[in-house]
A and B are shown apart, each in its own frame.
Chain A
């Protein structure tokens, strides 16, 4: 599968949008979990999904997916701050579930792991309804240790469900390194033990990611679950107040040289006649645009518990206050 210039530029656009939102949130939101460095893993995993397919992103990527699915950046930013203009009107967190819908599954509490079971359930729906869709379910290397994933994989294999499991391996679960935490080799070795075809891919190469996931979805639609491990790195800390005592500056710098956006730009320039200067200018423009809208989202009106009549939460609150 070779990508056209147009397709590659689209991938670039998604990555740049995700990075721009990320950058602005790092500046204006002390509770943000940065995803810089993982754009290729997120964008490459989900961009090929079409109608009837279901995306279940890892939390570090939920906002980028929201943007890819056509949610306006204003709405995504409002969700991160829990504002009136967000999809859930402040009821739930847009940073980990930007676009809850029948086609997008994200976290519904702060507890990691269950999303993978829900994604597996979505694949059951597709199979039961005899529809042609496929599910892509991403999770971190840390989350892969959660027991519910093993149980879900077993069921997916048992029922030959159309699902691709993706480990977005950024090598750390907060401070614990994947090499220390994951027994039995790698997550791929575990996936193989369940009989899933697996691929280990350079997660900072968006083209390689997109191609591997496309192979996996092709397989999954026909035969059942497949697995892809994306080796990547989060350039920032786990969250904004991470002291990062568990890794060296050299390690971070080494990975900064593998920046997935720069890497795609190089391919575009060398093989597709990309105008690097124009690209850089466009990127700066997008970053400025996102920063402005993030500032606006932060200052935007909060939902009013009394007037949000569309929310079941409000009637429950009123009832509770009346003592019902």
Chain B
């Protein structure tokens, strides 16, 4: 056990995996001596720099991802630090359209074991907040994970590095250097499993990233009104753990999705789709959405604040959803 931030936990998981597996190398902008954007690779240069396993990349995102796909197909396990999720849009053909499908198209003869890190979300950087989640979700074969606490970050990173297909991790910038917590270094996770973060019988709040902690605080307010919310932290956006969501939805009869990503064809839409698909609409489950508007993310701090669902938005959405 060790106390660490989410950022520390990610670095620690990468360090462990790199020690265990020589085929892993890391490519990213400023990940060398600089220590990685927002200290994303702190200490890794000191340990692996000499062996050439930490490569400072030029501003060539499509080639960073494209070469990683090629390296992964031929026996390496690349980790790409893409810095920000908005750059995923620059890399879609090699990463998603082709990289996600290679395992399928070769019937598993050729796999693409690569792990991509990308920061997103509103936070200290005041920019680069886009998540691109919906875009990634539409490509079969691409996994997308989003940890919200140090333990999950550690466990999911280990699983992602060992995965045989491309896995993208969205790292929320407001969480990376937030609270420290104990991390069990022996634990690994299964990608595709959500976690029930809080139990309750009245409403299911489905969230990921920063929205999980906002949902937790919303749940406290709601509890004072006698509404007990169950909170599901998706952890894995693709594949999405519909089983856990539906079981909770059947129990509570109401699902509120709290999501910072664009609402169209994204995680919120997919949660609703999965619940409807698995219940056929027969369970009379109510839906509410505390999501961002379908607009580009504005720049002004105040407009940005209005863009991202707040604790009050989540509380209000729950109330509206449960109203008779």
Contact = CB atoms under 8 A, between A and B. Distances in A.
A110 B300 contact: no
B230 interface: no
B107 interface: no
A321 B293 contact: yes
A305 B313 CA distance: 15
A154 interface: no
Contacts of B63: 147
Interface in A86-130: 88-93, 109-113
B317 to A, nearest CB: 10
A173 B58 contact: yes
A145 interface: yes
Interface stretch (A47-55, A160-168, A174-182): A174-182
Interface string A307-324: 010001100110111010
A110 B84 contact: yes
Q: Which of B58, B89, B295 has the most CB of A within 10 A?
A: B58
B243 interface: no
B60 A91 contact: no
A173 B33 CA distance: 14
Nearest to A173: B59
B30 interface: yes
A145 B58 contact: yes
A91 to B, nearest CB: 5
A313 B62 CA distance: 31
Contacts of B86: 109-111
Given A316-B295, A320-B293, A303 B302 contact: yes
Nearest to B37: A174
A313 B302 CA distance: 13
Contacts of B263: 320
Nearest to B306: A305
Contacts of A319: 293
B291 interface: yes
Given A111-B87, A113-B59, A90 B300 contact: yes
B299 A142 contact: no
A175 B303 contact: no
B299 A90 contact: yes
Interface string B304-322: 0011000000000000000
Contacts, number: 113
Given A110-B128, A111-B86, A147-B60, A174 B34 contact: yes
- The interface size bin for chain B is 35 or more
B58 A176 contact: yes
A147 B130 CA distance: 22
Interface in A294-314: 302-305, 308, 312-313
A91 B299 CA distance: 5
A73 interface: no
Q: Which of B126, B294, B295, B300 has the most CB of A within 10 A?
A: B300
A313 B303 contact: yes
Contact of B302 (A88, A90, A173): A90
Nearest to A320: B293
Contacts of B294: 316, 320
B34 A31 contact: no
Contacts of A82: 298-303
B32 interface: yes
A146 B59 contact: yes
A175 B33 contact: yes
B322 to A, nearest CB: 15
Contacts of A180: 56
A112 B59 contact: yes
25 contacts: A31-B127, A82-B299, A82-B300, A90-B298, A90-B302, A91-B300, A111-B87, A143-B59, A145-B59, A147-B63, A173-B58, A174-B34, A175-B34, A175-B56, A176-B30, A176-B32, A181-B58, A243-B34, A302-B302, A308-B303, A313-B295, A313-B296, A313-B298, A320-B291, A320-B295
